[in-house]
Structure 1
Amino acid sequence: MSLKRYKHQKKGAGRHVQLQEWLQQTEAWATLTPGPRALYIELKRRFNGTNNGKIYLSHRDAAEAINVHKNTVGGYFRELEQRGFIRMTKGAHLGSEGYGKAAQWALCEMPTCDGVKADHAFRTWTERTNQ
């Protein structure tokens, strides 16, 4: 069978972030403010299909990416963790060479790269019980 000529020169489609409809219909997402939503989209943008649980994003890089002050973004991470959208798999620390290492994050809507199943904790979050 011969190669299809129309696919020979294609470079592929650009990357995109997909927010599933079932995720957007949850109460946790519907009541989320714009800042944490922007941070979640940035975390999901850094997900390449195989690195869930090892998504590196420091507070400084996150603040720069979503155009807020680095002191503001810490609350956004906490809110996403409390609502069950993300979880920290490895905390920020100093490496052996003395350089800082950013925290590693996992998106709770999909399984991690080491085989841990998605827990979908955000589905059970309600505003009444978590205020």
Structure 2
Amino acid sequence: MTKRKNKLKLDFDQRGGVIVISRALLDSYAYKSLPPEAKVLMVLLQIHWRNDQAVAYGVREAASQIGCAVNTASKSFKVLNERGFIACENESLFNSKTGSKAREWRLTWMPFEHRKPTHDWENWNEKNKPTVSN
């Protein structure tokens, strides 16, 4: 008689999806030194991620979802872009007659158009930080 092993069933996707972020990314200085709003924005962007298209996500929508000022959300996009976590694929468009279009972002830690992630954030360190001039 053979013994049946009790297999632990891990049903991660029972409620509509799973967000997975690599341990290397979470342990990086580029990530650890991010403002909290930028970390939340990364998760929000990943929720909308698809392999075959860039993520269209605007500053106002981000501010609403994060619960912060529009200016803070704008700074979060800027810092994620500067550190290489996201890259702008298409610029925004404002047209009062035909409607507006949000910027479209590529998440560098995720595959895009069936290509491997570029992990641009791995090249960032504090020395790459832009200097603030007054």
Hey, what does 2:22 align to over in structure 1? 20
Listed as ranges, the gaps of 5+ residues in structure 2 are 1-12
Hey, what does 1:100 align to over in structure 2? 100
Kindly state the Cα deviation for residue 16 of structure 1 after the two structures are TM-superposed.
Answer: 2.4
User: Which structure has the larger Rg?
Assistant: 2
| Distance in 2, Cα, partners of 1:96 & 1:80 | 29
Kindly state the Cα deviation for residue 129 of structure 1 after the two structures are TM-superposed.
Answer: 3.5
Kindly state the Cα deviation for residue 97 of structure 1 after the two structures are TM-superposed.
Answer: 5.4
Report Cα offsets for 1:39-89 as digits up to 9, x if no partner. 111101111x434x4211111111111111112211100000000000110
Report Cα offsets for 1:6-32 as digits up to 9, x if no partner. xxxxxx522121111011111101111
2:61 is equivalent to residue 61 of structure 1: yes
Q: Where do 4+ consecutive residues of structure 1 move more than 4 Å?
A: none
Give the aligned residue type for 1:13. Q
Which of 1 and 2 has higher RCO (CA within 8 Å, sep 6+)? Answer: 1
Kindly state the Cα deviation for residue 110 of structure 1 after the two structures are TM-superposed.
Answer: 2.3
**Do the aligned partners of residues 97 and 112 (structure 1) sit closer, same or farther apart at CA in structure 2, a change above 3 Å counting?**
farther
Listed as ranges, the gaps of 5+ residues in structure 1 are 1-11
**Do the aligned partners of residues 117 and 20 (structure 1) sit closer, same or farther apart at CA in structure 2, a change above 3 Å counting?**
closer
The 8 Å contact of residues 27 and 123 in structure 1, kept in 2 or not, is answered as no
Hey, what does 1:34 align to over in structure 2? 36
After superposition, the CA RMSD in angstroms is 2.0
Question: Which deviates the most, 80-89 or 115-124?
Answer: 115-124
